[in-house]
Amino acid sequence: MRFLDDPVRFLFFTGKGGVGKTSIACATGVHLAASGKRVLLVSTDPASNVGQVFGTTIGNRITPVPGVPGLDALEIDPVAAADQYRERIIGPFRGVLPDEAIASITEQLSGSCTTEVASFNEFTDFLADTTTTATYDHVIFDTAPTGHTLRLLQLPGDWTSFLNTGGDASCLGPMSGLEKQRASYANAVAALTDPTRTRLVLVARPQPTSLGEAQRTADELTEIGIHATNLIVNAVLPASAATGDVLAQTIREREQRAIAGLVGSLTDIPHDEIPLKRHNMVGIDALRSLLSAEEETAAMTAAGAQDSNLPTLDALLAELAPAGRGLIMCMGKGGVGKTTVAAAIAVRLADLGHSVHLTTTDPASHLDKTLEVSSGLPNLTISRVDPQEAIANYRAHVMATKGAALDEAGKAALAEDLMSPCNQEIAVFQQFSHLVHQAGRSFVVMDTAPTGHTLLLMDTTGAYDRDMRRTMAPGLKFTTPLMRLQDPNYTHIVQVTLPETTPVLEALELREDLARAGITPWAWVVNQSLSATDTHSPLLRERAALEAEPLHMVEQAASRLAVVPYLAVEPVGIPLLRELVAPPVTSAHI
Amino acid sequence: MPTIRVYEPALCCNTGLCGPDVSQDLVTFNADLDHLQSRGADITRHNLANDPDAFARNPIVMNYLQAVGTDGLPLVLVDEVTVMTGRYPDRVTLTRLAGMADRPDLGLIAVPKASADAGSCGSSGCC
């Protein structure tokens, strides 16, 4: 594995959720510890599962990993970090300022900015604070999904120039707290941009969209002065497993084509391929096997066959279609196929003759690719909430209305203030709320952004809801967007996941988060199921058998369920999206 | 030169210029403040969310918070004397308070306000 050659002090693994970066980060930790190094594994993922991988509880403080001498791990929980950050600010004034003033400060420090700032504070400690990390030879960061990672990585650059210019710390809490951190942030930036200290490894699956995502990440990082040093293509179907079965053969060909087709900046950096394994990467033995060159032999018995009893998306939509309107939100961690499922649902409802609007708030939109732009369905419209565009529109609107009477100096100052990060959340929410309203007349199908972002959006909605209730006259009838989302007759939440343990556990965590906002998923969709195919490849059948447990977990949790088959070709374009909804039961034998 | 101190409700950012609907009062006050500061006036604003220490250290502000509560903010002090509550001074008033008007003609301008306008994101928790 080339990414392990002469390892430097800091190792970052970045990529969309579900590509396997946690497994690889954990396996790297196990590998380096086995060579006698002292290693610290830091997870900053909002849905961290380092503990799950090692079958133990890690949590918010440095914890030795049982059975792996030399390896310690830590999960930065953004919520807990935000709590501690808030308490550091408010604590000294409890009992000094009136309770009502304390409550008002607390409310202001409850939003997304505070969470980001708090997580970032923790993160820089490990990148820059030598007293915490001095005893370790290597610090491995299992970072969050791409969008979040970018924000996290983008901040140091912004902040350093921001602090150097003595800027006004909008939204970032008391300045005194920031001043103390100045040196720490500067060190973090220096470490991140220094290839002799930091190795940044992109992780992707051998699929064009996943590799495209890695490419985009690499380019975006380059823009902010950080260079990806390695690429790992994970879970590649080995040649030995791709004989005698149409699905396995086409998957193999497709993956090899995608890898051979690497273009642009990704061809300049060394890449490794990790073969698809028979087992899930849970436990130390599995992790040891992940990075070993040994090829596994699949059991030759092709046990099991296509499970034709699995519920289809078509059956699920039959219940939904008659209403002719409503909001359908596909939620789930990045990489589970929310976009694909949302597009398939939209196409099916449009095929049934309904008026459908399909939209995405995913900053890295796959929508155009999935539908190949022109839909060919007259009653299907497609749009995208582009966060950058939304904030630009928001600023323009405020400048043109509230800022209209200002002189030039005043206008310049207002424009500067409107650049604050929380205004982007607000601006996206405004777009979103407009679409929520539209679902009263027709179907609106949304492919929401990755988990963390989605929840922030919900949080914004919640705060807006509280504000509305407070300002509206008592007794007056009103409906807020959050109330729409909580209304099962109006909104149908479709929780999308993959038939693998970690994605299902993450989906269950997401469900808990939604429950706190009073939102319950209407149905679950398990995407890319091998059980729903008739593959006869021994390796793929073994993988299909591994789906039984996660599928059972979903059945326990879901009031409604659909299982979408793994297609031999990527579901791009309308005909293939139709196949996802109602898969034809065909024979794929050679 | 008179010292003007403006004690503001908990705004999500230093200027409060954010949220679903940006407050016109705050936009105007922010511009007026910049203007007066550029002319050398001694004006400082304290945001309850950013700078609780400034509130806790000043007995006048503490007494006001105990008696009226945060709904009564902003509170404007000139040389430690309360001159305005519940609303922001406009540019003409600020200029006078700063002792920069052609004919300094300072009177007490305490205006009680019926409904507290906490600013655009005073209670939205947008940050």
A188-211 residue pLDDT tens: 767 777 889 989 999 998 988 789
Q: Where are the alpha helices (DSSP H) in A439-572?
A: 451-471, 481-486, 501-516, 538-546, 548-557
Mean pLDDT for chain A overall: 78
Q: Residues for chain A: how many in total? A: 590
Asked whether this chain's domains A2-204 and A315-385+428-535+545-589 adopt the same fold, the reply is yes
Cis peptide, bond prior to residue A583, ω within 30 of zero: no
Q: A521 is written with which tokens?
A: 């998923």
Condensed to tens digits (0 to 9), the pLDDT of residues A134-149 reads 899 999 988 743 333 3
pLDDT at position A468, please?
A: 59
Read off the amino acid at residue A356. V
Residue A157 CA to chain centroid, in angstroms?
23
* pLDDT of A73 over the 90 cut: yes
β-pairing verdict for A198-204 and A63-64:
unpaired
Would you list the DSSP string of A326-339?
EEEEEE-STTS-HH
Q: A516 versus A167: which is more confidently predicted?
A: A516
Q: Do the Cβ atoms of A60 and A80 come closer than 8 Å? A: yes
Cα–Cα distance, A122 to A126 (Å, whole number): 7
The ranges assigned to domains in chain A are 2-204, 315-385+428-535+545-589
Nearest chain B Cα distance for residue A96, angstroms: 7
Provide the CB-side half-sphere exposure for A250 (13 A, CA).
12
Task: Tell me if A314 sits within 8 A of A477, measured CB to CB.
Answer: no
Question: By the CB < 8 Å criterion, does A403 face chain B?
Answer: yes
Contact yes or no for B126 and A174 at CB 8 A: no
| Residue A403 amino acid letter | G
Whether residue A23 lies in the annotated active site: yes
Q: How far apart are CA A413 and CA A89, in angstroms?
A: 28
CB contact at 8 A, A421 and A116: yes
Strand A561-565 versus strand B3-8 pairing type: unpaired
Question: What is the per-residue pLDDT for A557?
Answer: 92
Neighboring chain A residues of B12 at a CB cutoff of 8 Å: 108, 111, 113, 171, 422
Cα A175 off chain centre by: 31
Q: Is the model's pLDDT at A71 over the cut of 90?
A: yes
User: Sorting pLDDT into bands at 50, 70 and 90, what band is A503?
Assistant: confident
Please give the pLDDT value at position A371: 63
Most confident of A358-372, A380-394, A558-572, B104-118: A558-572
Q: How many CB atoms lie within 10 A of CB A200?
A: 24
CATH of A315-385+428-535+545-589, one of 3.40.50.300, 3.40.50.10880, 3.40.50.970, 3.30.70.360: 3.40.50.300
pLDDT of residue B118: 37
Q: Can you spell out the DSSP letters for A525-538?
A: EEEEESTTS----H
pLDDT digits (tens, 9 = 90+) for B44-70: 999 887 788 899 999 999 999 999 988
CB-based contacts of A134: which residues, under 8 Å, 6+ apart? none
Q: Is A518 left (phi over 0), alpha (psi -120 to 50) or beta?
A: left
Looking at residue A182, its pLDDT comes to 57
CA distance B56 to chain A (A): 6
Asked about A22 being catalytic, the answer comes back as yes
Q: pLDDT per residue over A360-376, tens digit each? A: 766 555 566 666 545 56
pLDDT of A454 higher than 60: no
Interchain CB contact of A399 with B (< 8 Å): no
B13 vs A contacts (CB less than 8 Å): 170-171, 417, 420, 422
Pairing outcome for strands A491-497 and A523-529: parallel
The pLDDT confidence band at residue B127, using thresholds 50, 70 and 90, is very low
Residue A90 pLDDT more than 50? yes
Please state, in angstroms and rounded to a whole number, the distance separating the CA atoms of residues A150 and A144.
9
User: For residue A235, what pLDDT is reported?
Assistant: 92
- How many contacts does A have with B, using Cβ atoms within 8 A? 142
Above 80 in pLDDT, residue A214? yes
Question: What are the tens digits of pLDDT across the range A92-129?
Answer: 889 888 998 898 888 777 665 566 667 666 777 777 65
**Residue-level pLDDT at B25:** 84
Which numeric CATH code is attached to A2-204? 3.40.50.300
**Mean pLDDT in residue range A40-47:** 79
Residue A427's pLDDT band, with cuts at 50, 70 and 90, is confident
Task: Please give the pLDDT value at position A249.
Answer: 92
Best of A168, A402, A433 to substitute, by most chain B Cβ atoms within 10 angstroms, is: A402
* Bigger pLDDT: A240 vs B50: A240
Q: What 8-state DSSP symbol labels residue A97?
A: B
ipTM passes above 0.90: no
Judge whether residue A176 has pLDDT over 60: no
Share of chain B above pLDDT 90, in %: 41
pLDDT at A178 over 60: no
Of A388, A411, A390, A391, residue with least CA distance to A401: A411
What spatial distance separates the first Cα and last Cα of chain B, rounded to whole Å? 35
B80-110 pLDDT, tens digit per residue, is 999 999 999 999 999 999 988 754 444 445 4
Q: When comparing pLDDT for A395 and A220, which is higher?
A: A395
The amino acid occupying position A186 is A
| Option in A111, A402, A409 nearest B126 (CB) | A111
For residue A589, pLDDT beyond 50: no
Q: Which residues are registered as beta bridge partners of A73?
A: A41, A63
Active-site residue A383, yes or no? no
- What pLDDT was estimated at residue A414? 79
What digits encode the pLDDT tens for the residues A313-328? 999 999 999 999 999 9
